[in-house]
Structures are given as structure tokens and as C-alpha cells.
């Protein structure tokens, strides 16, 4: 298992992963086909999406749900065999959703039951990492900082009690209900102050919040370039941050022909605009039609200015993932590796 990566490692030698979800949605693309495609494309690892395991569990129990312990454990063992066959490591199990700040005690307890199942799955898949996106539900939750920290410390302590210990990586969703910036995630990570609790940097989630606005004609917030430059400078100047970045995700987004509004074909009244942007229009970095202009500068900041080295995971999230075409896993896997090599060339040119 790749854990420690020397600071002088060339970028082209960093371990590359892809999110299993990005190779096709679980209800239309078989997990085995997706993992085989990742292996053939040369990835070192995958982010194992919980949805994929739930649908794989239906092989063993047609009525399986996301909390069907026995079937999901069988699915995890089956998936591990396929990963081994393809020389793929499982980088992380993700996501552990909508936990922090939950007010209802019963809901809170049910989430902990799921977390304990995720612990078992992580061990089977031989990974020590679980990803937590920031809370996306406003109803029934609180944004009280101390409450969020208490909940995150609770899961981190539970992780430390596992053998071997489980780490958690916390990510700011650009549309998060209470936390939507990397700075707020960093405050929580510092307050939790445990060795197994770190931060996930995602180009889309950071740039899409600081710089981007899908409801704007130019897809940018006011003073976008200045805001992004200031955000990157704060990253450079934050002591201890680089050691707490457990891995990074790279994704881009299409430049929309028309801003998101109620008249847009994909509009949903119950979904924040940045979430709609993410779910429908994300691409791999440096693909044609991208919108996140500061992407290269952001990645350069992490790799060159901050000297970060670790796992890199490619992520895409759009309607093409829902296509039932048999070649979707192959095409997406190849798009991801091509994107990574193109980004490396962009960094060299800069």
C-alpha cells in the first residue's frame, strides 16, 4: 500500500487514482467493468464509491440496501479480488455523508451504524481512509462550530480505536449547508486536532466556490481573480496545512452557454446552483470547454509552492456517467489519464 511519498518525487511518478463513480453510475455500469477499465488505463488506485458497493451487493442479495451488512461485506470482498487482479489499490471509501451537525439523535445513531459498516469494508479493501464531505443538508442540522467539531472528533476517535486505525479526510462542498470553504474545513481540522483527521483538496470544490458562479454570465463571482489569488496565498502562508492534506481530487467544469437559472434545462428548485453545476457539467482537468481558469495555478500552488506530494485522484461528474453504453468505463478511464498528462505538460510549460 502506497503511504509515504518523498517530497522530491517527480509529479509524473505520483500515484494516480480515479473515483469509481466517475467511470459510470452504479445502476448502469457494472463495478467489475469499471475496475477492469481503470486497471487497463494504468491507474494505481480507485476511490471506492459507496453506491458502487451497494449495487454490487445486489449480486448477493437482490434486496440489498446501503446498510445491508452481509451483502455489502460480500461485495467488498468481491471488489477487492477484482482490484487485486488489476493491481489497483483502494485509496479511500467514500462518502460518509451528512453527519456533522445532525440534531436528531436517532439519525445520528443510524449514521454511526453505517460508519461501523464502512470500517469493516475499509479493512476488507485494505484502505485506512474514509472521506467525509461537508454537511449538505440545512434542515435538521446546525452550523454551530462547536457541535460540528464535536461530531468530527467523535468519528475520529472511533477511527483511532480500529485496528489498524482509520483516517478521515474532510472536504468542503462548494454548496455546503454550513461549511463551504477550505478555510472553514481547516478550522475544524485544527480544532479536532487528531492525527487521523485531515483535509481533502478538490480543484472544483475550491475554485467553484471562491472563483466560480454558474448563475453569472461569465461563470465568475465579482472580483474572481483577486479572490482566487488571495485564497491561494492564504494556503501558502498557512502553517501545518500541507501535512494535513491527505490526498487531492482534480476536476474541471464546462463553460455554460447560458447561466444556470430556472429556465435552464437541468434546473432543480431543490438543488443549490453550484451543486447543479457540479452534478451535470464537471469534466476532467484541461479538457475542451473547461471553465476553471485558475486550475493550473491552483495545482502549481499545491505541488510547487507548498511542496505537497501524495495521491492524486481524477474525478468527473456529469450526465455521460449515466449512459448505458458499454464503452463508458473505458472512455472515462482514458479521458482521466489523458487529462492528467495534459495537466502535467501545462505545469511544465508554466
Cross-strand pairs, 94: 49
Tens digit of pLDDT for each residue in 41-88?
Answer: 999 999 999 999 999 999 999 999 888 999 999 999 999 999 999 999
Tens digit of pLDDT for each residue in 152-164?
Answer: 999 999 999 999 9
Q: What gap in Å lies between CA 204 and CA 174, rounded to an integer?
A: 8
Q: How many Cβ atoms from other residues are within 10 Å of residue 84's Cβ?
A: 11
Tens digit of pLDDT for each residue in 174-200?
Answer: 999 999 999 999 999 999 999 999 999
Q: Is the pLDDT of residue 1 over 70?
A: no
Query: Does 256 or 134 have the greater pLDDT score?
Result: 134
Q: What gap in Å lies between CA 211 and CA 224, rounded to an integer?
A: 5
Among the listed residues 83, 49, 22, 89, the one whose alpha carbon sits nearest the alpha carbon of residue 334: 22
Every domain of the chain and the residues it spans: 11-349
Dihedral (C-alpha) 134, 135, 138, 142: value to the nearest 10 degrees? -100
Average of pLDDT values for 190-218? Answer: 96
Query: What interhelical angle do 69-85 and 50-57 show, nearest 10?
Result: 110
CATH of 11-349, one of 3.40.47.10, 3.20.20.150, 3.30.470.20, 3.20.20.10: 3.20.20.150
pLDDT for res 54: 96
Q: What gap in Å lies between CA 90 and CA 84, rounded to an integer?
A: 10
* Residues contacting 161, CB < 8 A, separation 6+: none
pLDDT for res 195: 97
> Greatest CA span in the chain, whole angstroms?
54
Burial level of 258, CB count in 10 A (0-12/13-18/19+)?
exposed
pLDDT for res 286: 87
Tens digit of pLDDT for each residue in 235-245?
Answer: 999 999 999 99
Cβ–Cβ < 8 Å for 51, 97: no
**What are the Cα distances from residue 58, in Å, to 72, 73, 160, 326?**
8, 11, 31, 20
Q: Please report, in angstroms and rounded to a whole number, the separation of the first and last CA atoms in the chain.
A: 32
Cβ–Cβ < 8 Å for 152, 190: no
Average of pLDDT values for 3-18? Answer: 92
Q: What share of the chain is helix, strand, coil (3-state, %, to 5)?
A: 45, 15, 40
Tens digit of pLDDT for each residue in 327-350?
Answer: 999 999 999 999 999 999 989 886
What's the whole-number average pLDDT of the chain? Answer: 95
Least confident of 137-151, 167-181, 215-229, 256-270: 256-270
Q: What gap in Å lies between CA 312 and CA 340, rounded to an integer?
A: 9
Report angle CA 281, 36, 282 to the nearest 5 degrees.
5
Tens digit of pLDDT for each residue in 105-144?
Answer: 999 999 999 999 999 999 999 999 999 999 999 999 999 9
Amino acid at each position: 500500500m502506497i503511504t509515504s511519498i518523498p517530497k522530491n518525487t517527480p509529479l509524473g511518478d505520483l500515484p494516480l487514482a480515479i473515483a469509481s463513480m466517475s467511470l459510470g453510475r452504479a445502476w448502469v455500469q457494472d463495478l467489475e467493468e469499471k475496475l477492469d477499465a481503470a486497471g487497463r488505463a494504468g491507474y494505481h488506485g480507485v476511490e471506492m464509491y459507496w453506491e458502487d458497493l451497494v449495487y454490487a451487493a445486489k449480486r448477493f442479495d437482490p434486496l440489498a440496501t446501503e446498510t445491508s451488512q452481509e451483502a455489502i461485506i460480500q461485495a467488498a470482498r468481491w471488489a477487492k479480488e477484482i482490484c487485486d487482479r488489476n493491481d489497483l489499490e483502494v485509496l479511500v471509501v467514500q462518502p460518509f455523508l451528512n453527519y456533522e451537525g445532525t440534531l436528531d439523535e436517532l439519525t445520528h445513531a443510524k449514521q454511526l451504524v453505517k460508519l461501523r459498516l464502512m470500517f469493516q469494508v475499509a479493512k476488507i479493501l485494505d484502505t485506512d481512509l474514509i472521506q467525509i464531505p461537508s454537511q449538505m443538508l440545512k434542515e435538521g442540522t446546525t452550523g454551530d462550530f462547536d457541535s460540528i467539531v464535536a461530531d468530527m472528533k467523535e468519528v475520529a476517535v472511533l477511527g483511532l480505536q480500529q485496528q489498524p486505525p482509520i483516517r478521515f479526510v474532510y472536504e468542503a462542498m462548494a454548496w455546503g449547508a454550513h461549511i463551504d470553504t477550505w478555510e472553514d474545513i481547516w478550522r475544524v481540522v485544527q480544532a479536532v486536532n487528531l492525527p487521523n483527521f485531515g483535509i481533502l483538496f478538490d480543484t472544483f470544490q475550491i475554485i467553484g466556490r471562491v472563483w466560480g458562479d454558474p448563475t453569472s454570465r461569465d461563470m465568475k463571482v465579482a472580483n474572481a481573480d483577486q479572490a482566487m489569488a488571495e485564497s491561494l496565498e492564504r494556503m501558502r502562508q498557512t502553517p501545518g496545512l500541507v501535512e494535513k492534506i491527505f490526498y487531492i481530487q482534480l476536476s474541471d467544469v464546462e463553460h455554460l452557454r447560458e447561466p444556470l437559472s430556472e429556465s435552464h434545462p437541468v434546473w432543480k428548485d431543490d438543488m443549490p446552483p453550484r451543486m447543479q453545476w457540479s452534478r451535470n457539467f464537471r469534466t476532467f482537468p484541461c479538457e475542451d470547454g473547461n471553465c476553471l481558469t485558475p486550475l493550473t495555478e491552483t495545482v502549481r500552488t499545491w505541488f510547487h509552492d507548498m511542496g505537497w506530494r501524495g495521491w492524486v485522484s481524477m474525478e468527473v461528474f456529469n450526465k455521460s456517467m449515466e449512459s448505458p453504453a458499454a464503452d463508458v468505463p473505458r472512455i472515462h478511464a482514458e479521458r482521466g489519464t489523458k487529462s492528467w498528462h495534459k495537466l502535467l505538460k501545462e505545469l511544465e510549460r508554466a
